């Protein structure tokens, strides 16, 4: 009988221990920190020795650093769509077939479709308080200026404080223009053709070769005049129309002021945490750093060894430290999973009009933002959860920013959607050291909506094969980017197609310097055969969906324009100034 009692006590004890462990990894707070255009080589924990990032590095020391963490796209809009949904952006229509792969205007009609299920929607359903602070860049309105069909509120965020689009050079006076060169190039030919056609019509009318009704000629001139006036108005007022700050559905600063901006975003994040110490919360803090236009507050300006770019990185690191400190203040560190990443690699072509480098460092990796070379998609991946995941571990398995979706949905005790393919995989077993292999045998790398490359990590090998079907044409040829066009494009004369495809083994050649050949790799054709089969299987899993980045969805639509006063008053308001800035100790 005593043996039975002891056995019963042992079973009860083991069940209790198990339930405590299960409880400890269930329904944690979630903080997701996303930088913009940050290079993996910009952080100390990934080898940088000249920029000071002690707070971000602390996440690596106290958690896990993923060294082959891959963005689902090398551009902002599709990468962020994949991050929120756990799905390749081509599945949601958030990958473009045209040259432009991101939203440029606040009054575009495209955006993350309401049918998509985001992790914020699922966590909100499970009782989480949810907030997005910072950059959104996934659309705003569909048919009217107040339907907010693509707004963060429509995708599961209770609270929004930030920018509906992104940070442009055009948003900050004196920082140049992203659009000017492109608009000039795009308009020169149409204006020349229109001018020649108009002069030809007038001459033909004058000498009697053609009879054109003066009303038709007048109407033609009127249309051209109106179009030019609208275009000039739009670009003259670009800053007011596209660079503004919102709180929920209300514009609170138009145009955006950069003064103490990171401090304001950080203060909002800290206050959100403080308001929700007694309930589980999801906070997505989406930094404007280090997308151009670069900026830094007075406490950080001129303090780094890398000009304004370095100042911005170090200010962002300060902000991360503030978030970690407020968790400690409320005794929430052990109850909170913190994740830090970038939406894609550094924008290497960013150089100011004064010649200062405004783009970051992708370490040893080739290329950068807008390309699927490793420099464009291999991003920081840092996760910390004291007592639950490993501390000080570096994991070199292929992982994706799409993996955050299933990871946190499972932690919140929510169910993964069963009516659609989720391309991400739960990271927790890898982070806890329970498994040593990633579940990603294949990762598909898209340049906009075009399948550009495939990564294959065979289960019986340490090799990571990467196959390129086409590569961007760098300009100048011997450079590391597309400096002539500011970003690389995905089709036509901007790329070189490869038949057979280029093959690299990233485990031996992470710099992607030397393509393998049938002479240097005996399994060359076998590897290509397996990859082509994987592409066929993947392609069959895709379904036609509306293209959210079509020209129609990208164009500025005046009736969708958000404006806190009126268009005739230049859309001006400022309900932010006068607020007390957060104290900074740099």
**pLDDT tens, 130-188?**
999 999 999 999 999 999 999 999 999 999 999 999 999 999 988 888 766 666 555 66
Q: Which of 23, 45, 69, 137 is catalytic?
A: 137
| pLDDT value at residue 2 | 52
Number of H helices, E strands in the chain: 14, 16
Q: Is the pLDDT of residue 10 over 70?
A: no
State the Cα angle at 30 between 27 and 35, rounded to 5°: 165
Query: What residue spans define the domains of the chain?
Result: 29-167+243-440+545-560, 179-236
Asked if 348 and 355 touch (Cβ cutoff 8 Å), the reply is no
Q: Which CATH architecture has domain 29-167+243-440+545-560?
A: 3-Layer(aba) Sandwich (3.40)
Reported as a pLDDT band with limits 50, 70 and 90, residue 189 is low
Task: Give residue for tokens 């927790």.
Answer: 428
Reported as a pLDDT band with limits 50, 70 and 90, residue 4 is low
Q: How many C-beta atoms lie closer than 10 Å to residue 8's C-beta? A: 10
| pLDDT value at residue 517 | 98
| pLDDT value at residue 62 | 98
Q: How far is CA 59 from the centre of its chain?
A: 20
Region of poorest pLDDT, from 7-11, 87-91, 327-331, 398-402 = 7-11
| pLDDT value at residue 188 | 62
Contacts 24+ apart (CB under 8 A), 312-316: 313/38, 313/42, 313/51, 313/53, 313/289, 313/360, 314/51, 314/52, 314/53, 314/586, 315/262, 315/289, 316/35, 316/38, 316/56, 316/262, 316/287, 316/289, 316/290
Strands 129-135 and 495-505: unpaired
Q: What is the mean pLDDT of residues 16-32?
A: 64
Reported as a pLDDT band with limits 50, 70 and 90, residue 583 is low
Asked if 107 and 241 touch (Cβ cutoff 8 Å), the reply is yes
Whether 291 is catalytic is no
Instruction: Output 32 or 6, whichever has higher pLDDT.
Output: 32
**DSSP element (H, E) containing 31:** strand 29-35
Task: Give residue for tokens 């100390």.
Answer: 44
Q: Is the pLDDT of residue 77 over 90?
A: yes
Per-residue CA distances from 515 to 461, 472, 544, 574 (Å): 19, 15, 34, 55
Asked if 52 and 359 touch (Cβ cutoff 8 Å), the reply is no
Q: Alpha-carbon distance 388 to 24, whole Å?
A: 8
35-54 tens-digit pLDDT: 999 999 999 999 999 999 99
Q: Is the pLDDT of residue 13 over 60?
A: no
Structure tokens at 268: 């909002």
Task: Give residue for tokens 């291999």.
Answer: 378
Rg (CA), the chain: 26
**pTM exceeds 0.85:** yes
**DSSP element (H, E) containing 221:** helix 214-236
Per-residue CA distances from 223 to 188, 201, 497, 561 (Å): 18, 16, 41, 22
Per-residue CA distances from 436 to 152, 236, 391, 422, 458 (Å): 36, 55, 15, 22, 13
Q: Which of 15, 23, 45, 76 is catalytic?
A: 76
Q: Is the pLDDT of residue 387 over 50?
A: yes
Structure tokens at 323: 């978030």
Region of poorest pLDDT, from 54-63, 200-209, 393-402 = 200-209
Structure tokens at 297: 């507050």
Contacts 24+ apart (CB under 8 A), 221-225: 224/194, 224/198
Q: Is the pLDDT of residue 580 over 90?
A: no
Asked if 38 and 51 touch (Cβ cutoff 8 Å), the reply is no
Whether 171 is catalytic is no
DSSP label of 475: B
Q: Alpha-carbon distance 274 to 327, whole Å?
A: 9
Q: Is the pLDDT of residue 463 over 80?
A: yes
Per-residue CA distances from 390 to 31, 256, 334, 429, 434 (Å): 18, 41, 13, 10, 10
* 64: helix, strand or coil: strand
DSSP label of 441: S
Q: Is the pLDDT of residue 586 over 50?
A: no
Structure tokens at 399: 């992982």
Asked if 399 and 430 touch (Cβ cutoff 8 Å), the reply is yes
Q: Alpha-carbon distance 508 to 471, whole Å?
A: 20
Q: What is the mean pLDDT of residues 518-524?
A: 97
- Residue 451 half-sphere exposure, CB side, CA atoms within 13 Å? 18
The overall average pLDDT reported for the chain is 91
| pLDDT value at residue 14 | 45
- Whose CA is closest to 404, among 335, 449, 338, 327? 338
Asked if 204 and 210 touch (Cβ cutoff 8 Å), the reply is yes
Q: What is the mean pLDDT of residues 457-485?
A: 96
| pLDDT value at residue 20 | 34
Asked if 476 and 483 touch (Cβ cutoff 8 Å), the reply is yes
Per-residue CA distances from 368 to 74, 101, 363, 365, 483 (Å): 8, 15, 10, 8, 11
Q: What is the mean pLDDT of residues 243-247?
A: 97
Asked if 386 and 415 touch (Cβ cutoff 8 Å), the reply is no
DSSP 93-128: T-S-SSS--S---TT-S--S-TTSPPHHHHHHHTT-
Reported as a pLDDT band with limits 50, 70 and 90, residue 217 is low
| pLDDT value at residue 1 | 52
Q: Alpha-carbon distance 240 to 403, whole Å?
A: 37
| pLDDT value at residue 346 | 98
Q: Alpha-carbon distance 181 to 522, whole Å?
A: 47
Region of poorest pLDDT, from 19-33, 168-182, 348-362 = 19-33
> Is 179-236 in CATH node 3.40.50?
no
DSSP 487-553: S--SSGGGEEEEEEEEEEETTT-TT--S-B-TTT-TTHHHHHHHHHHHHHHHHHT------TTSHHH
Q: Is the pLDDT of residue 341 over 70?
A: yes
Structure tokens at 136: 């959104």
State the Cα angle at 547 between 36 and 401, rounded to 5°: 35
Asked if 450 and 490 touch (Cβ cutoff 8 Å), the reply is yes
Reported as a pLDDT band with limits 50, 70 and 90, residue 221 is confident
Region of poorest pLDDT, from 199-203, 345-349, 371-375, 544-548 = 199-203
Q: Is the pLDDT of residue 446 over 70?
A: yes
Task: Give residue for tokens 């010649």.
Answer: 355
Q: How many C-beta atoms lie closer than 10 Å to residue 28's C-beta? A: 20
Asked if 528 and 500 touch (Cβ cutoff 8 Å), the reply is yes
Q: How many C-beta atoms lie closer than 10 Å to residue 17's C-beta? A: 10
Q: Alpha-carbon distance 431 to 65, whole Å?
A: 9
- Residue 362 half-sphere exposure, CB side, CA atoms within 13 Å? 30
| pLDDT value at residue 223 | 79
């Amino acid at each position: 009988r005593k043996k039975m009692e002891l056995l019963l006590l042992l079973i009860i004890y083991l069940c209790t221990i198990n339930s405590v462990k299960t409880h400890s990894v269930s329904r944690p707070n979630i903080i997701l920190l996303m930088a913009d255009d940050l290079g993996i080589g910009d952080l100390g924990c990934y080898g940088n020795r000249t920029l000071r990032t002690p707070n971000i590095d602390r996440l690596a020391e106290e958690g896990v650093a993923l060294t082959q963490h891959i963005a689902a796209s090398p551009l902002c809009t599709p990468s962020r769509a994949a991050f929120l949904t756990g799905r390749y952006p081509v599945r949601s229509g958030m990958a473009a077939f045209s040259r432009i792969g991101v939203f440029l205007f606040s009054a575009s009609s495209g955006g993350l479709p309401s049918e998509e299920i985001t992790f914020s929607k699922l966590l909100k359903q499970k009782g989480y308080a949810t907030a997005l602070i910072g950059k959104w860049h996934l659309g705003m309105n569909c048919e009217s200026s107040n339907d907010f069909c693509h707004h963060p509120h429509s995708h599961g965020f209770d609270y929004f404080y930030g920018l509906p689009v992104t940070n442009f050079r055009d948003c900050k006076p004196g920082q140049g223009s992203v659009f000017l060169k492109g608009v000039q190039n795009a308009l020169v030919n149409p204006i020349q053709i229109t001018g020649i056609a108009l002069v030809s019509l007038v001459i033909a009318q004058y000498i009697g070769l053609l009879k054109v009704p003066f009303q038709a000629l007048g109407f033609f001139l009127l249309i051209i005049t109106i179009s030019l006036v609208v275009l000039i108005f739009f670009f003259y007022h670009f800053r007011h129309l596209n660079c503004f700050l919102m709180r929920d559905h209300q514009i609170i600063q138009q145009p955006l002021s950069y003064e103490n901006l990171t401090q304001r975003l950080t203060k909002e994040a800290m206050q959100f945490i403080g308001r929700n110490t007694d309930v589980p919360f999801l906070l997505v803090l989406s930094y404007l750093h280090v997308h151009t236009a670069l900026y830094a507050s007075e406490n950080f300006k001129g303090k780094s060894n890398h000009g304004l770019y370095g100042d911005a990185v170090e200010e962002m690191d300060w902000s991360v430290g503030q978030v970690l400190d407020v968790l400690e203040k409320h005794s929430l560190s052990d109850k909170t999973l913190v994740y830090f990443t970038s939406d894609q690699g550094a924008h290497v072509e960013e150089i100011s009009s004064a010649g200062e480098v405004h783009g970051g460092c992708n370490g040893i990796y080739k290329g950068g933002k807008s390309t699927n070379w490793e420099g464009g998609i291999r991003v920081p991946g840092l996760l910390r959860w004291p007592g639950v995941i490993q501390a000080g571990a570096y994991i070199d398995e292929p992982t994706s920013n799409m993996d955050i979706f299933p990871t946190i949905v499972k932690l919140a005790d929510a169910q993964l959607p069963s009516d659609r393919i989720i391309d991400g995989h739960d990271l927790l077993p890898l982070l806890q050291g329970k498994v040593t292999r990633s579940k990603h045998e294949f990762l598909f790398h898209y340049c906009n909506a075009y399948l550009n490359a495939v990564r294959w990590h065979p289960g019986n090998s340490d090799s990571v094969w990467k196959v390129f079907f086409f590569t961007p044409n760098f300009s100048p040829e011997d450079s590391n980017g597309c400096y002539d066009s500011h970003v690389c494009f995905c089709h036509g004369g901007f790329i070189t197609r490869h038949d057979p495809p280029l093959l690299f083994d990233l485990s031996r050649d992470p710099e992607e310097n030397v393509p393998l050949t049938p002479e240097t790799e005996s399994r060359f054709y076998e590897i290509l055969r397996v990859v082509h089969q994987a592409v066929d299987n993947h392609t069959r899993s895709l379904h036609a969906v509306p293209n959210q980045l079509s020209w129609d969805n990208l164009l500025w639509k005046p009736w969708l324009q958000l404006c806190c006063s009126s268009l005739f008053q230049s859309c001006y308001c400022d309900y932010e100034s006068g607020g007390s800035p957060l104290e900074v100790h740099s």
